[in-house]
Amino acid sequence: MFSTSLNRCNLPPWVIASRHYNRAPQPLEIQGAHHDQRALFEKLALVEDPEVRGALFHDFMDVRFQLHQWHREETPSSRKSLKNSYLRFLRGWQFDSNSIEGAVLKGWVESRLGLPPTFHREPIDDFHSKAYVQYTFDRMQGSARSNAILPQLDLLYGFVQYELGRRFPGKKHLSLYRGICDFTEHPVIEKSDKDRYILRLNNLNSFTRDFERAWEFGTRVLEAEVPLTKIFFLGGLLPRSLLRGEEEVIVIGGEFEVRVLIGG
C-alpha cells in the first residue's frame, strides 16, 4: 500500500497498515480529538443501556456541531452544510462505498491515519493516477457539502472505540467476513496455504459479523481476525431510527491475513 508520511495519529502509517499491527494492535489516538471527547465519555460512563448511549452520542453531535440549526441558515448551501451530518455519509457508504460519501470516509482515513485508498471506482496505483484524481474530486465535493465533517468523524471513531471496549471487554479482535467475486479490489501480497492469503485491503472496507450474509455479496468469502482498533463503525451502535444496517462493519484496511472460502 502506497502511503503518505503524514497523519494525525499516534502511530505512523506504515505501522498501521502492516500485518504485524493486526496481530498485536495498539490503540489509535487521533490528535486533537481527545479534548472534544472528554465531556462525552464522562456522560457515557454513567449510562448502562447501549441504546441510550447511542442516542446520547447523537444528541452530543447535534449540539456540538449545531446540526439541528440547519433551518435557521440564510442560504441553501449553508442549510445543506449543516443538514448533511455524519449520518448522511454513513448512509451513503452503505448504499455505495464508491460514492461521493464513500470518498469522504476514505478521505478521513487518509487524513487521520495516512492510508490513502487503493480502490475508488477503480484500482488506485499511486497519487498521480487518474483514479486518485477522481477520488480526490469526489472527496472535495463531498466535504464541501457538510459542516466540519472530519471532526464529526473523529468523534464517531472515538465513540465506536469506546463502545467496543464496553461491549467486548478484554477482546482485541473480532472474526469478520467479506464477500467478494474476485481479487480486483484486493491485491494478493502472499499465499501461505491453499486458502490462506495476505491481501492488501482498501483503506476502508465493508465486512459483516454474519458469515452466511457474506455469501450474498460474492462467490468467495474473506474471513479475517480484525483488530477492534481498526473498526471505524459497527452497525447497531446507533438507534435504528437514525441508521439501519446493523450487520455491516466498516473496517480500516492495510495488509490482512485472511482465509478465503470458495462457494460450491
- For the stretch 55-91, pLDDT in tens is 999 999 998 888 865 444 444 444 444 457 999 999 9
Mean pLDDT of the chain: 90
Q: Tell me the pLDDT tens digit for each residue of 25-36.
A: 999 999 888 776
Q: Tell me the pLDDT tens digit for each residue of 178-189.
A: 999 989 889 999
Q: What percent of the chain has pLDDT over 90?
A: 76
pLDDT (0 to 100) of residue 98: 96
Cα separation, 152 vs 243, in Å, equals 16
pLDDT (0 to 100) of residue 5: 62
pLDDT (0 to 100) of residue 70: 47
Predicted TM-score (pTM) of this structure? 0.92
Q: Tell me the pLDDT tens digit for each residue of 123-180.
A: 999 999 999 999 999 999 998 878 789 999 999 999 999 999 999 999 999 999 999 9
Count of other CB atoms within 10 angstroms of residue 56: 17
- What single DSSP character describes residue 228? G
pLDDT (0 to 100) of residue 122: 95
Buried b (16+ CB within 10 A) or exposed e, 184-204: ebbeeeeeeeeeebebbbbbb
Exposure on the CB side of residue 209, measured as CA atoms within 13 A: 13
